[in-house]
Amino acid sequence: MKIPKRKLFLLIIFAYVAFSLYAAYNVFFSTKVISRVHRVVKKETVSGGVKDGGGAPFLARDWNPWEDEQVDYNSALTKKREAFKQHLARIDKNKATRYRVQIWGKAAIGIYLWEHILEGPLNPTDKVAQWREGELQSGKIDFSFYTGPAVVQGHVPLDMNSLVLVLNGREPQKVSYSTRWLEHVQALVKSRTVSHVAVVLLGNEHCHNDFIGPYLKRNGGFVDLLFVVYDSPWVNDKDVFQWPLGVATYRQFPMIRPNAQLITSNRPYLCNFLGTVYKNSSRETLMQVLKKSGLEEECITNAREKWLPQETADSLRQYQTALVQSELTLCPVGINSECYRIYEACSYGSVPVVEDVLTPGSCAAGSSSPLRLLKAAGAPFIFISDWKELAAILERERGMSQEQRVDRRRRLLEWYAGFRQQMKERFTEVLEENFFKNV
């Protein structure tokens, strides 16, 4: 069909106008958007192809009305990006110097480690709660702690690969329970869920700890470090370290914060001994000396023939009262020379009078044993080898002034605080050195 010339002309005019408007729109709006991100450049030649009479073709730019704003914008953006990179670098650096360790407390000495040594918070505060937990920082390590009957195998968070397991190896039943936990952790190591393992062990009082030997890395096992209570002959300060027994947290003995009254008060008694008197033991000699010397009225005594594992609120209150009202606390040996009473006396500033006698078993002998950890730390105790020396000791006590007693009490409390701090630093540094030295 033939199109009339007039209509064809109008169609051409319409198409030209439309194309011109589209081109104008595209140049204006597209250039505006792109120029905020890119610097748009096109290669063109000036009319005639030569500028200023000769030379290479001239490289001209599209006119960019936002060029100055664009330069400022890009400059600011570059500075922000650089600042953000530096911020991320600082975060990464800080992360590199912080390490995470989880502690599973499956023995009562875990509470002594956490509350008394590391001084960490523990929630809930109810001591018989099924599940208790806390977090703290020590050195370069962020510790988390879990304890209580509800902490069971397979139900503990595994969000970090370094683990400290607190176990009881005193008697066969406890050993069996601890072995199950060791086997559980061994499976975690084999599955690469856990990379580093340390054990804090309430050892056997005769130092018979053979059950844990095969689990030590030195013997082909997976336990990198062992912190063991009592004078074990295994202690070498390389992968096996001695650890303090501490207070009887299993009997709810609390963390005591010293105050002025605790230091300066007049204490009405010279000494105390509340405990079990075993047949044919040195404790019988102790009681005989007190009775024969007529010292029973000057000392708080409550001897019983049978050991009581459970503490009542009343018996704990009586015991704490005896400690806070006595200048000295008598600490005869039991199955081992190291006993809870030593640390509990220190908590109240009552000087421990310690029977310095090596007990039967496989514990290390030598000039520094027993109680080598406390002796090495310079414990300001009174060490005796025979309770027949007690009468002379108490006679000297009578001659001391209140000022002398207060000064000695202050020094004991300061020493005990320093000892716990020393154990905290040692524990943290050993973990850092052995778990993270190659990180």
Domain residues of the chain, as ranges? 99-243, 251-422
CATH architecture of structural domain 99-243: 3-Layer(aba) Sandwich (3.40)
Q: Cβ atoms within 10 A of the Cβ of 172, count?
A: 10
pLDDT at 78: 53
Domains 99-243 and 251-422 share a fold: yes
pLDDT at 281: 85
CATH architecture of structural domain 251-422: 3-Layer(aba) Sandwich (3.40)
pLDDT at 39: 33
Helix axes 390-398, 282-292, angle to 10 degrees: 50
Q: Give me the residues of the chain with pLDDT under 50, please.
A: 23-67, 70, 73, 77, 81
pLDDT at 297: 84
Question: If DSSP states are collapsed to H, E and C, what string results for the chain?
Answer: CCCCHHHHHHHHHHHHHHHHHHHHHHHHHHHHHHHCCCCCCCCCCCCCCCCCCCCCCCCCCCCCCCHHHHHHHHHHHHHHHHHHHHHHHHHHHHHHCCEEEEEEECCCHHHHHHHHHCCCCCECCCCCCCCEEEEEEECCEEEEEEECCCCCCCCCCCCCCEEEEEEECCCHHHHHHHHHHHHHHHHHHHCCCCCEEEEEEECCCCCCCHHHHHHEHHHCCCECEEEEECCCCCCCCCCEEEECCCCCHHHCCCCCCCCHHHHHCCCCEEEEEEEECCCCCHHHHHHHHHHHCCCHHHEEEEEECCCCCCCCHHHHHHHHHHHHCEEEEEECCCCCCCCHHHHHHHHCCCEEEEECCCCCCCCCCCCCCCCHHHHHCCCCCEEECCHHHHHHHHHHHHCCCHHHHHHHHHHHHHHHHHHHHHHHHHHHHHHHHHHCCCC
pLDDT at 76: 58
Distance of CA 184 to the CA centre of its chain: 22
pLDDT at 414: 98
Tell me the pLDDT tens digit for each residue of 386-438.
999 999 999 999 999 999 999 999 999 999 999 999 999 999 999 999 999 87
pLDDT at 254: 94
Token pair listed for 354: 């310690």
pLDDT at 70: 47
pLDDT at 164: 97
